[in-house]
Amino acid sequence: MINTFTSYHLIARDLPKALNRVENQPMVDRETKYYLENITKVKTIDEFVKNDRLFRYAMKAHGLEDMAYAKAFMIKALKEGVSDPESFANKLTDKRYAEFVKSFNFAAHGELATVYNRAQSDVPKNFIFQTELTTGQANYALVEEETSYFLENIGNVKSVDDFIANERLLRYALTANGLYLGDYATDEDPKGAGYVRTMLEGGVTDPQSPANKLGDKRFANFVSAFNFVEYGAETTSRLAVQTGTPQSYINESELVLFKGVPETQRAEVAYFTANIGKITTPGQLISDKRLLTFALAAYGLDAKTEPPERVLQMLTGGVSDPQSPANQLADRRYAAFVSAFNFAEYGTAATARDEATQVTPKRYLEAQTDPESAYFRANISTVKSVGDLISNERLITYAMKAYGLDAKVESRVLVRDMLLGGITDPQSPANTSSDKRWAAFVSAFDFAQHGADATSRAAVTDQTPKLYVENLDPETAYFRANIGKATTVDKLLADDRLLTYAMAAYGLDASTQSKDTIRKMLEGGISDPNSPANKLTDKSYARFVTAFDFKTHGANTTSRAAVLEATATRYDTMRDLGLVKLPAGYVKAETDYYKANVGKLASIDDLMADKRLLNYALASYGFDPADESPAKIRDMLEGGIKEEDSPANKSGDSRWVAFVSAFNFVEHGEQATSFSLALKPTVDKFMRQTLEEDAGKQNEGVRLALYFERKAATLTSFYEVLADPALARVVRTALSLPDSFASADIDKQVQLFESKLNIEDFSDPKELGKFLTRFTSLWEVDNPTSTAQTSLSVLFSQPVEYGISTNTLFAIQAMKR
């Protein structure tokens, strides 16, 4: 008979082959097929335990076949689960029970226990939880209220005097920059407003201005946003104020807001924003490939196809001269790009202007997610007449969609009549149409009044793209297409989708308000100081009723700009800030897409390639996908979680550990998003258990060696070894200790083991191999299956060599005594 050492190594050397032989055994094949066909049908502990064939298979897989009869015992363990350290299974010395319960964790996963997969079960649950989490935060209501007030009123501020006069707006803006008005109060200036006025009136252009001379740059940032010295009455209409200030305020509040799944490239935006201010010459911009690629892409140009020397020529030539290189090109994208980075006119200050710092990032995001807007901006200036617009299918489709109209539905004859009729005459086709979207569309593209200059006006170049982007949100598109039909309070209340949108724009959640309350507010109007909306301390209802003031405007209420334009814009802004609860339809659509596709993922590359899935997954663990770079995400995933020094474990952020655990391709490979502990892992364990049992029928030492090899990497202390009789027997044999040593004091046993062995070596395949070579050889001495010389020789030879000297044999025999 082959000795223990050789038998063990014949199996261990090609374990997959050995397991394949086991898998092909008729009995094993039959039982495994039955298990896989039926285990996923099991929904409860009772169903599991009552199916003796399934239950025995599972018990054997975990090395507990001898306990398959003790069903009451196992039911208790399964019912208590393993979440509680004091649960029945966790308190048992034999950890196989806890492993079994973890694989069939009915206590934690209920009916999903036999199909549970983190990526498939936890992620959707977390995503829905995140959508509910936002409004439950302690200071959410305050932040929402103050932000609503700011957005509602900041546009009325046209000067430093206006700003100082509105203390509420001033405090909000200062807080957004980490500043607090009361910190600057004095006896002469008890509110501190005088100090702030000095800062604002000094501006930031002059390096010696009061704000710039401060070591603390927070005031310089504040004044840069509210730069009345440079922008005058237009200051508060800039993006730095309208978007940047509310976002900074929210950041300062430390609220964690859930914004859904973005589809933007904010990592690039972050890099651009952080570095563009360092660029002071055209040459510097050309030399930074990442910045240049970003800047060109924002205006619909591709850095890969644009020779650097040509771009440099454009930038140097500027746009002031009609004969400059950029102006001579029919493609107006170049002139737009150079106008934003106009070094020829503004010199080193070119990249400090809003066109570079504010407009360009917005254009970039637009171009990345919406090529139609990029095309519109690049080509609308070539349109000089109604005929030009109608003949360009792409432009007319875009323009009409911006105002909620569908070019595929409306005839070209009707569109032409509307545009030619203009908007000045009250009897024009657009004005007499009951659908007020036509009037808004024709007002923007008013060729009748402005002729060839119609498309150079802000209503076309700025407002139309803004409305188009807003309408990309299906909720906004639905609102604009249907709100005009809601001519009474009853009709608005009857359309839950319209009502939810309208109220969300003003910080109200329709799902938490009764229809009776909403009706009472709307019917009461806003003109009476004692109306229900005006009497509330929270002014959210007052703002909502002001927009939807049916009492004053009647059937014309929803055709007014305050509804058609202002409400949609407000909703868009609040949504981007994370202050709008995501619509149930949106959550369902994203969740349905995720569930339908996550099981198809077979690699990290697959996950990274599907941005919709990836963003959903990140958002479900509390990350803003827009803030996480692809490189960082990939680094986390590729590091796994098994090693203590993996990026996820070292991050100190438990969210990364949870995310990587759910998408653990490093450990589970192609099965990461589809495997269940009750399925493939259990089958794998069954095959390994059967292999060990089969080996044990021929040689118990081989079974012990295979078992120890399987468990070795999980061991962290010798107390764990002593808790498992089989593992303890292997170690005692390898150390030539008698069986009676097992009755010695536990601490003394551990002390001896630690003096002879290093537990960490068991995780090293090479050291583990040496240890098991010693074990199998000494086992052979006590339980010989071949000649003594053959049994002992392997102790001091290489694993594939045999033979031993007489002197060595005597030495081993002496050691044994």
C-alpha–C-alpha distance, residues 682 and 688, integer Å: 10
Residue 796 in domain: yes
* 179 and 288, same domain (yes or no): no
Residue 417 in domain: yes
Q: How many CB atoms lie within 10 A of CB 268?
A: 19
> Span 425-429, mean pLDDT?
94
Could you read off the pLDDT of 182-237 as tens digits, one per residue? Answer: 888 888 888 889 999 999 999 988 889 998 888 888 898 899 899 999 889 989 88
* 248 and 145, same domain (yes or no): yes
Residue 286 in domain: yes
Q: How many CB atoms lie within 10 A of CB 650?
A: 12
The pLDDT confidence band at residue 745, using thresholds 50, 70 and 90, is very high
> Checking phi first, is residue 806 left (phi over 0); if not, alpha (psi -120 to 50) or beta?
alpha
C-alpha–C-alpha distance, residues 636 and 647, integer Å: 5
* 332 and 417, same domain (yes or no): no
Q: Provide the residue count of the chain.
A: 817
pLDDT for 117 equals 66
* 635 and 719, same domain (yes or no): no
> Span 552-561, mean pLDDT?
88
Structure tokens at 647: 């990026």
Q: Is 90 exceeded by the pLDDT of residue 127? A: no
| Coil, strand or helix at 663 | coil
Instruction: Characterize 202-212 residue by residue with b for buried, 16 or more Cβ atoms within 10 angstroms of its Cβ, and e for exposed.
Output: bbbeeeebbbb
Which of 16, 15, 9, 11 shows the shortest CA–CA distance to 775?
9
Q: Is 50 exceeded by the pLDDT of residue 793? A: no
The last residue of a domain, from among 543, 577, 611: 577
pLDDT for 817 equals 43
Query: Are the CB atoms for 265 and 364 separated by under 8 Å?
Result: yes
Which residue intervals of 341-392 are DSSP H helices? Answer: 343-346, 354, 360-369, 371-379, 386-391
* 292 and 350, same domain (yes or no): yes
Instruction: Characterize 659-682 residue by residue with b for buried, 16 or more Cβ atoms within 10 angstroms of its Cβ, and e for exposed.
Output: bbbbbbbbebeebbbbbbbbbeeb
pLDDT for 813 equals 44
Structural domain count of the chain: 5
Instruction: Characterize 624-635 residue by residue with b for buried, 16 or more Cβ atoms within 10 angstroms of its Cβ, and e for exposed.
Output: bbbebeeeebee
* 421 and 529, same domain (yes or no): yes
Q: What is the CATH number of the domain that holds 187?
A: 1.10.3700.10
Structure tokens at 67: 């306990």
Query: Are the CB atoms for 413 and 421 separated by under 8 Å?
Result: no
* 433 and 545, same domain (yes or no): yes
Sequence-distant (6+) residues with CB within 8 A of 749 are: 718, 722, 741, 742
pLDDT for 653 equals 87
* 284 and 410, same domain (yes or no): no
The proportion of the chain whose per-residue pLDDT surpasses 70, expressed as a percent, equals 89
The last residue of a domain, from among 348, 369, 390: 369
> Span 672-688, mean pLDDT?
73
764 vs 575, more confident: 764
The pLDDT confidence band at residue 460, using thresholds 50, 70 and 90, is confident
CA 53 to centroid of chain Cα atoms: 43
Indicate the burial class of 72 (C-beta count within 10 angstroms; 0-12, 13-18, 19 or more): exposed
Range of the domain at 525: 382-577
Structure tokens at 764: 């090293």
C-alpha–C-alpha distance, residues 245 and 641, integer Å: 39
587 vs 92, more confident: 92
| Lowest mean per-residue pLDDT among 65-74, 671-680, 722-731 | 671-680
Residue 109 in domain: no
Q: What is the DSSP letter of 240?
A: I
Q: What is the SS3 assignment for 406-446? A: CCCCCCHHHHHHHHHHCCCCCCCHHHHCCCCHHHHHHHHCC
* 447 and 568, same domain (yes or no): yes
CA 34 to centroid of chain Cα atoms: 40
* 231 and 296, same domain (yes or no): no
Which of 483, 521, 487, 523 shows the shortest CA–CA distance to 502?
483
The pLDDT confidence band at residue 786, using thresholds 50, 70 and 90, is low
The last residue of a domain, from among 533, 561, 577: 577
Residue 732 in domain: yes
Q: What is the DSSP letter of 744?
A: S
Q: Is 60 exceeded by the pLDDT of residue 67? A: yes
Which of 572, 571, 548, 573 shows the shortest CA–CA distance to 558?
548
Q: Is 70 exceeded by the pLDDT of residue 16? A: yes
**The CA-based dihedral angle spanning residues 180, 186, 188, 192, taken in that order and rounded to the nearest 10 degrees:** -10
Helix axes 140-153, 566-577, angle to 10 degrees: 140
Structure tokens at 251: 């950041």
CA angle in degrees (0–180, nearest 5) for 379-576-279: 60
C-alpha–C-alpha distance, residues 689 and 683, integer Å: 10
The pLDDT confidence band at residue 250, using thresholds 50, 70 and 90, is confident
Q: Is 90 exceeded by the pLDDT of residue 267? A: no
Task: Report which residue type is found at 726.
Answer: A
Residue 75 in domain: no
pLDDT for 119 equals 66
C-alpha–C-alpha distance, residues 267 and 632, integer Å: 11
Could you read off the pLDDT of 48-61 as tens digits, one per residue? Answer: 999 999 999 889 88
C-alpha–C-alpha distance, residues 701 and 721, integer Å: 17
Provide the CB-side half-sphere exposure for 297 (13 A, CA): 21
Indicate the burial class of 196 (C-beta count within 10 angstroms; 0-12, 13-18, 19 or more): buried
> Span 266-275, mean pLDDT?
74
3-state helix, strand, coil in the chain (%, to 5): 70, 0, 30
Query: Are the CB atoms for 618 and 633 separated by under 8 Å?
Result: yes
Could you read off the pLDDT of 282-293 as tens digits, one per residue? Answer: 999 999 998 999
Query: Are the CB atoms for 361 and 273 separated by under 8 Å?
Result: yes
Q: Is 80 exceeded by the pLDDT of residue 474? A: no
pLDDT for 798 equals 38
Which of 474, 390, 404 shows the shortest CA–CA distance to 433?
404
C-alpha–C-alpha distance, residues 492 and 679, integer Å: 52
Distances in whole angstroms, Cα of residue 728 to Cα of each of 67, 717, 732? 21, 12, 6
Answer positive or negative: Cα dihedral of 78, 83, 87, 88: positive
The pLDDT confidence band at residue 799, using thresholds 50, 70 and 90, is very low
Q: Is 80 exceeded by the pLDDT of residue 599? A: yes
Could you read off the pLDDT of 325-365 as tens digits, one per residue? Answer: 999 987 778 888 999 999 999 998 889 888 888 888 878 87
Q: What is the CATH number of the domain that holds 395?
A: 1.10.3700
Query: Are the CB atoms for 257 and 134 separated by under 8 Å?
Result: yes
The pLDDT confidence band at residue 499, using thresholds 50, 70 and 90, is very high
* 665 and 609, same domain (yes or no): yes
Task: Work out the mean pLDDT of the chain and round it to a whole number.
Answer: 85
* 480 and 593, same domain (yes or no): no
Backbone dihedral angles phi then psi of residue 154, each to the nearest 5 degrees: -65, -30
C-alpha–C-alpha distance, residues 732 and 749, integer Å: 10
The proportion of the chain whose per-residue pLDDT surpasses 90, expressed as a percent, equals 39
Residue 53 in domain: no
Which residue intervals of 640-787 are DSSP H helices? Answer: 647-650, 654-662, 665-668, 680-698, 700-712, 718-723, 725-734, 746-756, 765-782
pLDDT for 510 equals 87
pLDDT for 810 equals 41
Residue 24 in domain: no
